[in-house]
Structure 1
């Protein structure tokens, strides 16, 4: 397969100055929006709609095929790489949480299951689904030039787009935690506090549940325990930091709230089966 560029690894971020909101065409967007090293500032949420072409997109160590009518959802801080065919076409939409939630504070981005660190970052868009591509095209036209109330109209387009994507995503991914409010709340708390709270009881207390009840609930909804979910999030962030930052293993341990680098090394190896340094070397090889 002919690709547009060699494999690159890093954090999904804007390659030039970040903007609060933008819509661009592929392949032109590949020049200015790509996987690069370093954190996204400000954090940018991204939707990539593929209309033509092929390839692969690796997001947080999981590889997904690129194909027409596939919509990808990318979070700030995710790591990965892209290998795209030379004929790839599509639309790339990026926006900050502030841009969206200023108008729609009652619809936080964390409530959408596709903007989660736990669920698949893609949706296959097939008829008779709602017209997600026309909405993206409308956003592109709206953003193409100055117009009265341009930002407000763009926010409205974006809200409808996310709401319709949410409807179809929940049908396509029935195990998404958003289908159960208690599990969704648990995952929200994990994302906010996993660096400082690593004991399941802390989360159960906030949800006014017993740890056993929370474990049973997650096992029924997610087919894994609440403890498994918590450990997955900690390990995922450790992998991201080891791959995308220049921090030492000891510094990564401190960033994640581990007071002892040796304990962090044992914890990481328990779930990944290699040491943190070995993992870093394997991924960068």
Structure 2
């Protein structure tokens, strides 16, 4: 959904793991993310950049990293000739392990008092240009698998750079004052930290000092899913990731994810995905 520009680079290797690289060059307002899809967004500014994130206008200096969570509309306003780079990706592209989940579902993208984190960029602009202007197209032409691996590595380096620049804050969230969206964000962050052991709405509602009904209503209003549906979907995604990326047996994975019985885990996965556990394992 970006303004056509011969200088813009859009790389989409395949539909299931969309990763989009866009060089921000525009003479008019341009929608970067429409907010209707769950994409994570990282923007590296090379020059001052005006953005509307959600409904808030920001004027961002050069050499900043911006981290914006899924479901938030982003619009750039009259970018300069070389304003920066935008990378968007779904959690299925980056999230392959518990470490990935911990990084992805952190305060970088889910913070109760802001829709966007802004930190100082560490790497020089020349290095960023080389990675995205030179290396990314070379990898893409070589093979999708090589491109995906290179870009996952690049995204991880940006996330670590962002985490390094985040200011320290207390662990406690003032949940009694949270809006629906902020309550759900806090729930999702907690869910991705505790999903291996805690599968009930009651646990998360109690930890967030709200009733299970209030939490489910907030989830329904924000994502059109109940809290229980989000828990089950998340557990299903994590299970598939474990099966695809680890050498653990199905029984071991079931135990890792808090199931006391392998047969219960297999039934859960079949119901959640419509496929058997072994069908996700590459021969």
Q: TM-score, normalised by structure 1?
A: 0.50
2:136 aligned residue (110, 128, 143): 143
CA contact (8 A) 2:105 2:189 kept: no
Per-residue deviation, residues 48-106 of structure 1 (Å, max 9, x unmatched): 11211342x2323333223212222222211354323444511111222111123x442
Which consecutive unaligned segments of at least 5 residues does structure 2 have?
A: 4-11, 176-182, 192-198, 227-283
State the match for 2:24 in structure 1: 26
SS at match of 2:151: helix
After TM superposition, list the pairs within 5 Å mapping 1:203-282 onto structure 2: 206=203, 255=224
The answer to whether residue 87 in structure 2 is matched with residue 93 in structure 1 is yes
CA contact (8 A) 1:110 1:188 kept: no
User: How has the CA–CA distance of structure 1 residues 234 and 180 changed in structure 2, closer, same or farther, with 3 Å as cutoff?
Assistant: same
Give the Cα–Cα distance (whole angstroms) in 2 for the partners of residues 205 and 67 of structure 1: 43
State the match for 2:99 in structure 1: 106
SS at match of 1:144: helix
Give the Cα–Cα distance (whole angstroms) in 2 for the partners of residues 99 and 231 of structure 1: 31
User: How has the CA–CA distance of structure 1 residues 53 and 192 changed in structure 2, closer, same or farther, with 3 Å as cutoff?
Assistant: closer
State the match for 1:180 in structure 2: 171
2:159 aligned residue (158, 162, 173): 162
RMSD: 4.8
State the match for 1:44 in structure 2: 39
Equivalent pairs counted in the alignment come to: 192
Q: TM-score, normalised by structure 2?
A: 0.50
Give the Cα–Cα distance (whole angstroms) in 2 for the partners of residues 204 and 256 of structure 1: 13
